[in-house]
Amino acid sequence: MEKTLVIIKPGTIQRGLIGEVIRRFEQKGLQLCGLKMVQLTDEILSEHYAHIAHKPFFGRIKAAMEACPVIVVCLKGLGAVQVVHNMAGVTNGREAAMGTIRGDYSMSMQWNIIHTSDSLESAETELLRFFKPEEIFDYKQSYIEYIYSTDEV
């Protein structure tokens, strides 16, 4: 089973939507394997957003991500990376489909509720960036047979 990263962003925390976002992932059947609140630093944001660090809007994104602590989450499930990324919706909340997390809660490109890993490779890298190995837990979900068929797990 795949593991993936979600960052619940400062705007989401300020708006009191933490539980709502996590609830949607749990209702889908994804397993929560790690959860913690952290204050992001310039160093970690420069590493995490290295692919856009040269863009003129990078300073604004960094400031928004440092506005208050974030919650980093590790989720596990079959195809978890793509499932979580699809549940988030497109980056711009105004363009995200209703029913997606961004489509239901965001009107912005910058204040777009969550970050999700976009590939298995980025999920592995990002999880190592935000979690120590001992902060990610593997445990048996007692109701797993009601989420997946026996030939899927």
Identify the CA nearest to 68 among candidates 106, 40, 109, 101.
40
Alpha carbons 95 and 107: distance in angstroms, whole number = 8
Alpha carbons 50 and 48: distance in angstroms, whole number = 6
Instruction: Clarify whether 85 is annotated catalytic.
Output: no
Question: Exactly one of 48, 51, 54, 115 is catalytic; which is it?
Answer: 115
Catalytic residues, by residue number, are 115
